[in-house]
Every structure is written in C-alpha cells, then in structure tokens.
Structure 1
Amino acid sequence: MRHNTLRTIIRSTLCLAAGSAGLAASGVMAAENLKDDVLVEVIVTANKRAQELRDVAGSVSAYTGDQLKELGAQSLSDYITRLPGVVFNDYQPGVSEVVIRGISGTTYHEQGQAVVGYYINEIPLSEPGWPIVIPDVDTFDLERVEVLRGPQGTLFGSASLGGLVNYIVKEADTEGFDAAVQTSASQTHESDDFNYGIKGMVNVPLSDTFAVRVVGLERRDAGFADNVRTGQDDSNDLTTRGARLSAVFEPSDATKLSWLTLYQKTDLEDQTYVTMPTLTRDTYVAEPHKTEMLVNSLRLDQDLSFGSLTMLGALANKESDLIFDYTRDFPTGILGSGLGTPVYGIGEAESESKSIEVRIASPGDSKIGWVIGAMYLESTKDSLDSMHQDGFAGFLDDEGFDGDALAPGDNQDRYFVHRKDEEMALFGEVTFSFTDTVSLTAGGRLFEAKSDNNIGRLPQAVFGAEGIEASPGYSYSEDKKDDGFTPKVTLSWKPNEDFMGYASYSEGFRVGGANPNPPGLTPSQLTYDSDSVQNYEIGVRSTLVGGGLLVDATAFHIKWDDIQVRLFGPAPTYYAYVSNAGGAEVDGVELSTTVRAGQVFEWQANVSWIDAEVTAFVPDSFAPNGGYPIGTTLPGSSEWTVSNTISLTFDDVFLSPQFVLAHRYLSEAPVAFANVSEKGDYHLVDLRASTRFGDSVMVTAFVNNVFDEYGILNWPFGDFGVPLASVTRPRTIGVSLDWSF
C-alpha cells in the first residue's frame, strides 16, 4: 500500500512537472514585463555558496527580514509552521523543537541529538546529545531565515535528519549610517498584563573599511494562565532579552573579516501547560525555566584567483535551569518523609562547543561548480538533576544520617552527566553540466564522531532491605564511536530560466550516546546507537505568467533506520531514556504556490501531506503489550499542514496602506507512540493593517488568533493520564511601530 501511495505521488508530481514545463515553454511569457515588478531576488547559502533561491535544485524555503516584519513574526512559532512540511513542538520556550517531514521520535524534548539542525550565520548549534537550548532567534534585524527540508548530512553533518534552520543575522555595513527601532504593545484575552516589545539597531561606519552594528531587544509575552494553587494570575510570563554585535573589516574588495556576538536569554516564570479545557494551572510550586545562549564567531571570506575561501570559527555557550513539580507523585514526601512540603525536581545543564570550518568554493560563473571543505566540532555538556524537598536534610539527620552529605541543600536523588563529543569531517560537492539544461551534482561527507560519557549518582539516601540506608553513589563511563560516508546526488533539468525539475538522493545521521542510569534500565538500555535516514525526492520549481505565478512541488520518500526514540519509565518519576527501534518510513508531498498581481496583490499558499509510520515493532518494556506495532504513526507527525497568506498593498494611495490575512491549519497527530492523546486539529487566523508615514515610519494594528481558537500545541503528559497541554495563545490585539533611518 505504501509503495502504491508513493507511486501515485510521483506520477502526480511528474504530471505537474510536465504541465508546468509546457506552460513555461509555450508562450505564457507574454507578460514578461511583469516579472521585474513582482519578483524579488533572494540569495541563500543552502549549498555553502551564494545562489538565487529559485536556482537551488532542492527543497529550500526562505523568509526575508521584510517578510517576517510583514507577518509580525517575533519567534519560530509565528512563522516556521507556515512552511510546507514543517511543524513545531511548541512546549517550553527556549527548548521547543522544529520537526520537518515528520521525522520525530517524540513530541517532548529530544534526549538524543535534535532531529533538525540549527545554525546562525552557518555556525552549528546542534551539538551531540540532548539539546540544552534550541536557538529561537528574535526576528528583529534578521537578513533572512533559511529552512532546508530533507536530510543535509553531506554539507552540514549530524543532527539534520529532517533538515535544518539557518538564521542569517544582518552584518555591519560600511556603506553608511543606519538605525531602526521597533516597538509594540498588545493585550491578550484572559490576561491582565500587557505584552510589549522594544528593539533597536544602529549601524555605524567608522571608516571606509570598518563598521559596527549593534542590536538590543526586550520582549515580554504576558502570561494568560492562572495557577490556582500558587495563587499567581497570568503565571506563565515570558521575557526574552537579547543583544548582537557585528563588526566588519574590509581592507579590499577581495577580503572581508567579520565578527559576530549574539546573546539571548529567556525567562519563563511558570510553565506553559494548562489543565484542559481551561486556562488554569494547578501546581504546588511555580515551574520556572530559564535559558541563555552566547555565541562568538570570527569569519574570513577571501576571493582567490580560482574561487573563494571561507574560514569560520565559533564558540557557543548554552545554559538551562528549570523546576518541575512532583508533589502529587510523592504525596508523603521523598522516602516517605511526611514533611508536608512540596517536592520538585531541579534541572541544571550547560554546554560549550567549539567549531571550525574551512572551505573553498568555485567562482559563481564557473562551468563546473564545486565546494570542498573540512570541519571540526568539540562540545562538552554537563547536567545535574535532583529532587528537592524543604527540610529533607533535617529529616535525614533525625533518622541518624548526615543530611548535609546525602542531601545538601535538601536536594536528594542527584544524578549527573558529563559528555564530551568530537566530530570531524571532510566534505565536498561538485556540479557538472552535461548540457546547457542538464546538470548532475554529487557530493559526500567522510566523518568520524566520538562520544565520551561519564554518568553517575552522588551520595544519597535510599530505601534498603531494612528501611532507609545511605548509598555512597556510583559512576560509570560509556564511550561511543561512529564513522561513515554520507552521499548526496541530484540530477536537475532547467530548459529555461522559468522552470527547473530535479531528482535527488540524500542521507543524514545522528550520533549515538549514553543514557543516564535511572532505576529500572537494563544494561542494554544504558547506551543507544546512531540512526540514519535515506531520502528520495523529485521536485519542480516553476515561474509562470511572467512571474505572477510561482509553483514549487516536491514528492519524497524517506527511510529511517535504527531510529532513536525517547521512552519513559514507570511512575512516579517517569525517567526518560533513549532506545533504538527498528525503522520507519515517511511518504509526503509538499506544494508551495505564490500568486501575484503587480505590487498590489499577493497570495502565498503552502500545503503538505505526510504519512509517517514505523515499519518495525518498537519495543518498550514499560508499555502495554511490550511496545508499539508496525503501522504506528510517528509522534507529532500531522498528516496535513496548510497555510495561506494574502496581502494587499496600495503604495500609490495616501499613507500606503497594507492589509494582511494569514491562516494556518495543522491536522491532528499523536503526542507519543500509540497514544490516544493528540495535538493539532486547529485553525489560526491573524489580521494586520499597516500604514506608512513617509519612508521611515510604519504603524500596524493587528489581531492574532482572531477567533480565539483553543488549539493544542502539545500534550506533553498525554500518556500519563492527565489532561495537561500547551495551547495556543488566546486572541491578542495590539499595535506596533517601526521606524528606520
């Protein structure tokens, strides 16, 4: 059945390709003069060299800074799901994850490496192991955001099973002074507080060859959930603060040296999940979560007689601190202490990564296009998790133990993880044009990845044969090593500048690692192996009616082997661990269209259909029947995603008004393997109306979630039998002001 489905998909896409080619070649270009008015050239670096977006033979999308401003987008949740084949596990700010083409083993945080890679100006931020912070860069002063669908293991390495997200931050410009300010204020239904944002940028050329650009921002998303037990109204306030510094030195036309510092911090005062179907929470303590990310990088771009040299080095630090309430799971306290005080988990984690990449690419006008390079990544990661109960150390003292030694600061059941990873690779890609219309691109990545893990439990009190006993703790080490070759091949046909068809095969991989050792894991569950995907796809890019109609379509089949799945142990702790399952397959179709009428009307529509199922039994010793059968849908994999954005722009009318109507739909998807709890199945509609005062000031009124839809973004505890979910922000009405120099 799956192969018949794929055959139908491929046949339909080929028919579309043939039809589009015929239109492109048969005289629709009578409206050629329209093209210069409606098409905006977007340059992307998806293939490690600059290309016009519509010349890329692959599934690449990009949002420019202007498009993000038009949508009023602030963070990933505002725009990433508008792209075909993309969903967002929107659970906790700072760690919510993008999922592309249904490649997902969990809707919780990944405990293994992320399934999607994250980059900032090509700096890798998806180090091996569980993600401490998922980069969700504020959109202010971004050049663009590139999203590559399908595995990108050849040019980008691990953590790109489904694809990757590459933020491109604007660099300092030596051409002239520039400045901008963006402010906003809004009110969310069911919230007594205001949302606000204030952001600023200044670009200063200090000479003809040297310039700096500084960005600062603060954004507050007011809480809308009341915690009925702690008594805190609007408890889930989120504050995002950030700063960026770019410095560029261009001593000649051939040499450019760039420095980038990026800092961003999120501070969530209480978790986002609510008790369905209400907007209330019920925890014994607040559950705050704070994340920090600091990136420093230095880049050299040098033109050579035979190509261009790029050298990029970066340091990245990330931190995460959170609290999670376990009082209901320990009604008599830790080890039956009977203290009557709340019990909550504390999680502290940090990582540091160092990366360097050197590559040389062919000139842009070369008959044979090529890129060759080498990279090295080193990362260290440390975490400490514990259970806390006020007075617990004193309880142990009363029982005849040294409470300060076994539970310092009233923290019990402390386990730590220290992980060090190294990844090195040689990669390359070459494009050979057989004719003026047919090209073959082939590439590969030769890699080696090492992981050294030290895991253990610190001294603690445990239940023994005769009651409470003192445990001295323990530690153990597990090492993993992976190496291999990741290929990619693409055949493209471009009979004219307005049509391209392509077929490609690509692979991606994630490295393995070691699990923390919660009670109940068997020796075989202490480590997990790498997993990999093979992606087959065909696609077309068509520019019709003189640029008035753009049609991009892709059909794909993905085979996922040795999938890393996140599973959970029994109550009350629900310890999570990663295990390898047999495999899964994903079939899908992505369709993206844009209809334009001059500078006035534009309609962008994106639709994707995805069928993602396991193809081998997924063992889970804590699940009914010991696991999940063949045909089980992958967690969080929605069958349908749809988005529509219609804009009307009247530049020749007084105050140049613009109106934007945006719609998104996400179909239902299970939150875990074989789970009846589902996320999705909701529509969101946003409205925006803007006016301009000269070339410098734009004022916008907006309504987000016009119909106040109560949509389930994620149901993280669906398999624990409690109706707790993260939901869409209620209707929000506000105004924003943009000023540029």
Structure 2
Amino acid sequence: MYALSLIASAALLTPAAPPRDDRVAVRVAARDLGAAIVAIGRQTGASIGMRDPSLARLRVRRVAGTLTTAQALSAMLRGTRARARKVAANSYLIEAIPPRPPRPAPPRMPPAETEPEPVGADIIVIASKRDVPLSQFPGVARIADGADISLAEAARGSDALVGASTSLASTHLGPGRNKLFIRGVADSSFTGPTQATVGQYWGDTRLTYSAPDPSLRLYDIARVEILEGPQGTLYGAGSLGGIVRVVPQGADVSGIAAAGWGGVLATQHGDPGVDAGGMLNLPLVGDMLGLRAVAYGAIDGGYIDDRLRGLADVNRVETAGARANLGLEPGDGWRVDLSGTWQRIDGRDAQYGDQDGLSRASAVAQPFVNDYLLGELRIARDWGDLQLRSATGIIDHYVSETFDATEPGGEPTQFRQTSRIRMLTSETRLAQRSANGAGWVVGASLLSNDARLNRTLGEEARMAMPVAGVRNRIGEVTVFGEATVVPVDWLALTGGGRLTHSRLSGDAEDVSALVAFRADPRGGASRTETRFLPSGAILVQPDERWSLFARYQEGFRPGGLAVRSDLIERYTGDRIETAELGVRLGAPARDRFDILLTAAHTRWHDIQADLIDGVGFPVTANIGDGRISSIGISAGWRPSEALDLSGSLYWNDSEVTAPSAALIAAVTALDAPSARGGQLPNVADFNARIGARYFAELGPRTALTLSGNARYVGHSRLGIGPVLGQLQGDWLDTGIEARIGDARRGLSLSLTNLLDAQGNRFALGSPFQLTSGDQITPLRPRTIRIGFDWRF
C-alpha cells in the first residue's frame, strides 16, 4: 500500500535550503503526483504531505521556473482533481478537490494561502552560475531533467548525451576513450597532452583536463546542462566549444528512499549483456545529516570478430561504479556536501572493423582501461537574493590503451600508452540574482594538474621497451566576474571578464632529457602565461515569448609539451573568439511551441591538433589558424499534455585558413594537396534529429510511456593533414523505448539501431594501421534491452 503520507524536504538541485516560501529554481517533469511532490519538496525545502493514497497515481504537469512552493504546486496540479492546502509555515497538504454540489453554490474566494498560477514559468540555467531563467539567458543552453533520462540511456553515459543533441559530437574509440566536441570546435581524434576543448563538470567540479571523457553513467541524476560556445569568462581554460555539466542527486536528510534497476540485452551479430544497479538514501541524524549511495555494474557484449586470431565478439566492455554523498544541513540556510565518485571501464579489445564491417584482422589484442576517482567538498548557502558556492575537488585518473603496431609481414607488435592524471581544483563564488534578470557573479579559482604520458613498444607486453613519454604540469590562479544590468524592461546588457595566470612546466619520461629535448633545448623549462578573456552580450525581449540576443565570448588553452617519435617538442597555447546571434520564441516548459535559431562565427588561432609522424605516432602541434561557421535550429511542439515532439538541425563549415609550418611540412612530405582549406576534424557538416515522447494512462495504477528518435550524422574527416584525411560519417541511428508501470515499479523495453545499420562513426582503430587499409567503427548492431525498475 502506498505510504499514507509523503514528506519531502531539502534541496537536491541547489543544496542550500532556501528561505521559507522564497522563490527558488524548480524543475520537475510530468510524472505521477507521488514522485512529483517528493521532487518539489527536495528542491524547495518544503514539507508536503498526502493522506489519500489514490492521489499518488495522478499524472501531473511539468513545472519549471523560479517559483515559490505554492506557485509550483498550483501549476503542477492545474487540471487535476487535487489541490494544495497550506497547513503551516512552508508545509502543505495535498488533498482531493471536494465534488461540486448538485445545486449551484455561490462563488467563493480562493483560500488566502493559495497563490495564483505562475505566469511565465521558465527553465533555470544553473550553469550560468547565478540561476538565470532560460528566457533571460543570452546564449544557447540545452537542459535535460534527470527524470527524463531512462535507465537504458543512463547506462550509455556520454553517448546518450551525444545521441540527444545535434551540436554535441564525439570520437568513437570506445567508452572511456572518447573526446567530446561542441559546435564544431574539434582539434584531433587522439587523446594526448592537450587540454580538451569541452569543459566537463560533475556538479561544480571539473571532471577532466588533459584526459578522455570518463563517460560516467547517468544514474540518479538531477539534471544535465550543455552550454554552447566558448565559456571562458565563467569556466576558464579548456571551454573553447562549451561545457557539459551533469548534476547528480544529493542526499535527502529528511526521509528514506531506495531504488533498484536491471536489464538484459541481446545484440544482433554479437554477445548478450546485462546491467544492474541500486540507490539508497538514509537520514542519519534527524533532519541534519543524510547519506545517498549509488552502485552499478554492466557488461556490454562484443560484436567485432577478429579473423586473424580466430576470435568472435572480442570487444566486450565491463563497467563498474559507485558514488556516495554525505549531506549536512546545520541550519541558517547552509548545506555542506562531501562526495566520492568512482568508475572503472575495462575493454577487452578495440571496437573497430575493416571493409567487412563487423570484423578485422589484428595480430594482437588491443584492450583499454579507464579508472576514474573523484572526491569533492562543496559548501553552499542561500540568503535572500545572494548565493555562496564553494567547491573543491581532487581527481585521480588512469587511462591505458593498447594499439596494434604490427608492420606488414612482421612480428606481432603492441604499442601501449598510459596516462596518469592528478588534478586539484577549487572555486569559490558569490552571486546575486533579481527577478528581472539583473545580477552579478564574482569568484576565484585555483587549479593544479599533473599529467604523465608513458609509452612502450614491443612484441609482447612484458618485453616491450619504453619510448619517449612526457610529463606536463600546470597551475592556474583565476579571478572572474560577470554582471547584467536591465536599463529598461525589454533590454539586458551583460559584460564580464576572466584573468588567468598559468605556470607550465614539463619534462621527458623514460628517456634522457638530453636526447628528448635535442630539437629544442628550452623545451623542459618552466614558463608562465597570463590571459584575459572578455565577454559581452545583449538581450532584447519585445514580450515574454520572444528573445533576441547577440553574444561575444573568448576561450583559450595553455601550451605544453608533446612527443614526436623520441623527441619532446613544445606547442603553444591556442585561443578562440566567437560571435553569435540568436532568436528564441517560446520556452520548452512554458509554451506549446518553441523554436530557437542561432548563427555563430568562430576564429581559432594557433590551433592545437594531432598529426601523424613518420613512424606512425600521433604528435601534437600547432597547425595554424582556422575558422568555423555554424547555424543551428531546434523546435519543440506539444500538441497535447500527452505528446511531445522535437526536432533539430545543425550545419557546420570549417577550414584551416592559415596553415602553420608544421602542417605544411607534413603535407609536402607526402606530396599531398595544399594544407590551406582543410576541414577541421570529427564534426559533421550536417546533423539532424527528430524525437517524440507519448504518455497514456492505462488504468488507475498503470501508465505507458513511449519515446522514439532518429538521428542523422553527415560527413566528416578523421583529422587534419593527408594521412588523417579519411572520410567518415553519413549514417542514421534510430531507437524506440517503452515503459509500463507506475511511479514505484515498471517494466521497460528499448530497441536501438532499428535498421541494423552499419555506418562508419569513426575511421580509426589503430594509428599505426592508417595507411594499410580502411578502418571503420560501425554502429552497435540492433540491440534489445528488457529492464525493470522499482523504488520506494
């Protein structure tokens, strides 16, 4: 029997408990009433009770905006047979609306404590660092509620985010080995000493620096935000293309909750798989201290055969992970969170094939490992319009990759590359927000990153000889600020800047420095860089439905040391400048129809990218200047409360406009065409996606949710230069998913790659085999998953 009373309190999306009945950022998807009031209670800090268990199964509306608890409940319950009644300060009771009397009754005024339905409820962009409503945000933000990410999608990690967006792209070496790109800002196909072009954040803590995407599984997530375009002012170095911010659920100090899930998978042409996990939330000390823990594991069956070694389905991947959050609310609006996150991905072999698609001929196995550990301390307080946030994170990241380096007719040879990254990051900021969009944020941050890249080459792993590696160390000290003023109701002006001082140093690994730095005797010396990144934006709102904005932002990455065969060479920092225009009509959570049209132009100076040296090793170098032009359009239509339709298109055009001496030399050595005009790597010239979601009540305790999507990825090239110029892309991916059940338990069925298309997501398996034949990374063949979930 459903609990006779549901009590929800303590924020999850913003850990600090807000002042009673103050406006806070609320975001709850359409769902059963029982689950919805728990979510609203956690986000607002209110106590919400319900005595009638039959009401828990009511389907309620989505709610999004900066609202009081009463406003959020009023919007959520509109059109249902339930209402919210205030019974005490910041406490509400959900009850059935009394039946209308048989005879006309005189009109009555609504209860004094009931507030009017909110007007203009809007999604809140938390990644703006001062909680700006989407309609007042002068840029492009893609926001997904964690409740809208299914368990099948959560098991895919970052691949689920890439599949849901046309502006977010990825390499496809395999989970835990990929690089993410936003809006065409893509540097190379390999993971080396360069900093990523996309800033990835877990809550308020940066996930990576010079390492691949750890692809943390998206279980028990509150929300995901993707900000497009450089975010240098607020996020600093490495956010050239934008940021991806995943917000995990935090501990609820007021109540016990638990959930479990699992599924079995069958892949056509491959091995079966399985996934399972669980969540437990426990209050430990009254309403002050709580613990939330999540654990999960998965096996993805392989589907690539190795003809030379006579093995089938070699590319099996095993994933295990866990995280825990200890949340303390000592009172007076303070919240302290101590969190730990761990995940390990083990791949038995590489996931690429050759012209036969789902098979290849490799002389050696090519396993990979991504072991990720994050510890975080977060302190927050909200009072009035002010917010204080301070987050400190420690990251230990280990990545190991093996490539087939066998020469034609030669003995089986392995090339192994390992990266060990240790990073400390800390940021403290103070922000002020106003209802009309005005406000400011100021802050300071520190970062220290130590990355070691070691490499070996040989016929057997235990007998392999070391080759030149490199160690890069960087320390950053930063101050930043941004402010918005609203001189008139329809106009908002935003300006800001970030000042960063970086100290870089590096040295050789596994070889003598005299040998490694013979091409550049100064290569190992320490040096400093100081950068100032300005930003500015204009927002015009003729009425509550229309927004027009213009925005200018900059971004940069510091330089470092890279390996060329057995030489260590220096590469310099690069920088980017982007101007964009946008028109937004309507809001996804507020209006039946919404559309966003954007156009952006980017100039990229001293691009850091990877080339292939004469031995076959990838090497980082500055390849010159380039430019990127893009146009994006996305729209949503909700013809009824039960049906959501969406679609998006993204066009990208890029080229190297002023090639460097290093790129010209690489092209000339191979008697290839001119380096000028070459396309930047990995980002398709055209992407398109359509999606639909449908909800239907099948009975008093049963509902059906259906969703489907199709995504087309156009042509792109593997990399810069003649050796890396292979064409890839031009494929269509499709999927459907269904769930039947209620808020407490359900059964689900998902089917991916409905057409069993092969395609070529990525034209790389081993850099040493690039000239010996085509390499293709096919889509995972048609896969079906049958799953279950339960919670209380």
The TM-score with structure 2 as length reference comes to 0.79
Q: Within 5 Å, which residues of 2 pair with 1:189-228?
A: 189-191=268-270, 193-206=271-284, 207-228=286-307
2:781 counterpart residue number: 730
2:644 counterpart residue number: 602
- 2:655 counterpart (613, 616, 623): 613
**Partners in 1 of 2:731 and 2:437 — Cα distance?**
49
How far does residue 369 in structure 1 lie from its aligned partner after superposition? 0.2
1:740 counterpart residue number: 791
For 2:164, the aligned partner's letter is R
Q: Within 5 Å, which residues of 2 pair with 1:279-294?
A: 279-294=358-373
How far does residue 576 in structure 1 lie from its aligned partner after superposition? 1.8
The Cα offsets for residues 152-191 of structure 1, whole Å up to 9 and x where unpaired, read as: 1111011111111111111111232111112111100001
Is the CA contact (8 Å cut-off) linking 1:479 and 1:513 kept in structure 2? no
2:133 is aligned with 1:52: yes
Equivalent position SS for 1:500 = strand
**Partners in 1 of 2:436 and 2:631 — Cα distance?**
33
- 1:508 counterpart (548, 552, 555): 555
Residues 410 and 72 of structure 1, relative CA distance in 2, 3 Å threshold: closer
Residues 711 and 701 of structure 1, relative CA distance in 2, 3 Å threshold: same
1:566 counterpart residue number: 610
**Partners in 2 of 1:232 and 1:208 — Cα distance?**
56
Is the CA contact (8 Å cut-off) linking 1:584 and 1:612 kept in structure 2? yes
2:757 is aligned with 1:704: no
Equivalent position SS for 2:240 = coil
Alignment RMSD: 2.7
1:384 counterpart residue number: 454
1:533 counterpart residue number: 576
How far does residue 69 in structure 1 lie from its aligned partner after superposition? 1.1
Structure 1 range deviating more: 556-565 or 278-287: 278-287
**Partners in 2 of 1:345 and 1:77 — Cα distance?**
27
**Partners in 1 of 2:431 and 2:587 — Cα distance?**
32
**Partners in 2 of 1:37 and 1:232 — Cα distance?**
60
Is the CA contact (8 Å cut-off) linking 2:152 and 2:750 kept in structure 1? no
How far does residue 646 in structure 1 lie from its aligned partner after superposition? 1.1
For 2:592, the aligned partner's letter is G
Residues 443 and 71 of structure 1, relative CA distance in 2, 3 Å threshold: farther
The Cα offsets for residues 534-562 of structure 1, whole Å up to 9 and x where unpaired, read as: 11011122117971101111111111111
How far does residue 690 in structure 1 lie from its aligned partner after superposition? 1.8
How far does residue 36 in structure 1 lie from its aligned partner after superposition? 6.8
Comparing both chains, which one has the higher relative contact order based on Cα–Cα distances under 8 Å and sequence gaps of 6 or more? 1
- 1:143 counterpart (222, 239, 242): 222
Structure 1 range deviating more: 625-634 or 558-567: 625-634
Is the CA contact (8 Å cut-off) linking 1:455 and 1:476 kept in structure 2? no
The Cα offsets for residues 432-459 of structure 1, whole Å up to 9 and x where unpaired, read as: 1111121101010001112110114438
| Structure 2 segments unaligned to the other structure (5+ residues) | 1-74, 81-119
Residues 280 and 499 of structure 1, relative CA distance in 2, 3 Å threshold: same
2:441 counterpart residue number: 371
Is the CA contact (8 Å cut-off) linking 1:34 and 1:547 kept in structure 2? no
Residues 730 and 449 of structure 1, relative CA distance in 2, 3 Å threshold: same
For 1:663, the aligned partner's letter is A
**Partners in 2 of 1:89 and 1:475 — Cα distance?**
34
2:625 is aligned with 1:583: yes
Residues 43 and 177 of structure 1, relative CA distance in 2, 3 Å threshold: farther
2:728 is aligned with 1:685: no
The Cα offsets for residues 194-237 of structure 1, whole Å up to 9 and x where unpaired, read as: 11110110111122111110000001111001122333321100
Equivalent position SS for 1:651 = strand
2:236 counterpart residue number: 157
Is the CA contact (8 Å cut-off) linking 1:84 and 1:591 kept in structure 2? no
Q: Within 5 Å, which residues of 2 pair with 1:152-551?
A: 152-191=231-270, 193-206=271-284, 207-303=286-382, 307-328=386-407, 331-332=409-410, 342-365=412-435, 368-390=438-460, 409-458=462-511, 477-519=524-566, 526-543=569-586, 547-551=591-595
For 1:45, the aligned partner's letter is I
Is the CA contact (8 Å cut-off) linking 1:35 and 1:547 kept in structure 2? no
Residues 40 and 438 of structure 1, relative CA distance in 2, 3 Å threshold: closer
Structure 1 range deviating more: 409-418 or 708-717: 409-418
How far does residue 328 in structure 1 lie from its aligned partner after superposition? 2.7
2:599 counterpart residue number: 555
How far does residue 109 in structure 1 lie from its aligned partner after superposition? 2.8
Is the CA contact (8 Å cut-off) linking 1:562 and 1:580 kept in structure 2? yes
Q: Within 5 Å, which residues of 2 pair with 1:73-88?
A: 73-74=154-155, 75-88=157-170
The Cα offsets for residues 509-536 of structure 1, whole Å up to 9 and x where unpaired, read as: 11110112424x6xxx811111111110
How far does residue 111 in structure 1 lie from its aligned partner after superposition? 4.2
For 1:703, the aligned partner's letter is L
1:337 counterpart residue number: none
1:402 counterpart residue number: none
For 1:149, the aligned partner's letter is E
Is the CA contact (8 Å cut-off) linking 1:531 and 1:563 kept in structure 2? yes
Residues 222 and 480 of structure 1, relative CA distance in 2, 3 Å threshold: farther
**Partners in 1 of 2:76 and 2:523 — Cα distance?**
67
**Partners in 2 of 1:196 and 1:243 — Cα distance?**
17
Is the CA contact (8 Å cut-off) linking 1:455 and 1:517 kept in structure 2? no
Residues 514 and 228 of structure 1, relative CA distance in 2, 3 Å threshold: same
**Partners in 1 of 2:259 and 2:754 — Cα distance?**
29
Is the CA contact (8 Å cut-off) linking 2:415 and 2:458 kept in structure 1? yes
Equivalent position SS for 1:77 = helix
Is the CA contact (8 Å cut-off) linking 1:84 and 1:592 kept in structure 2? no
Aligned length: 662
Is the CA contact (8 Å cut-off) linking 1:445 and 1:486 kept in structure 2? yes
Q: Within 5 Å, which residues of 2 pair with 1:655-666?
A: 655-666=702-713
Is the CA contact (8 Å cut-off) linking 1:265 and 1:290 kept in structure 2? yes
Is the CA contact (8 Å cut-off) linking 1:35 and 1:548 kept in structure 2? no
1:720 counterpart residue number: 771
Equivalent position SS for 1:539 = strand
Equivalent position SS for 1:103 = coil
The Cα offsets for residues 15-59 of structure 1, whole Å up to 9 and x where unpaired, read as: xxxxxxxxxxxxxxxxxx999789985433221122333432211
- 2:690 counterpart (628, 644, 648): 644
How far does residue 625 in structure 1 lie from its aligned partner after superposition? 4.0
Equivalent position SS for 2:789 = strand
**Partners in 1 of 2:299 and 2:79 — Cα distance?**
38
How far does residue 727 in structure 1 lie from its aligned partner after superposition? 1.3
| Structure 1 segments unaligned to the other structure (5+ residues) | 1-32, 334-341, 392-408, 463-470
**Partners in 1 of 2:725 and 2:470 — Cα distance?**
33
**Partners in 2 of 1:323 and 1:57 — Cα distance?**
44
Is the CA contact (8 Å cut-off) linking 2:168 and 2:180 kept in structure 1? yes
Residues 697 and 226 of structure 1, relative CA distance in 2, 3 Å threshold: same
For 1:488, the aligned partner's letter is S
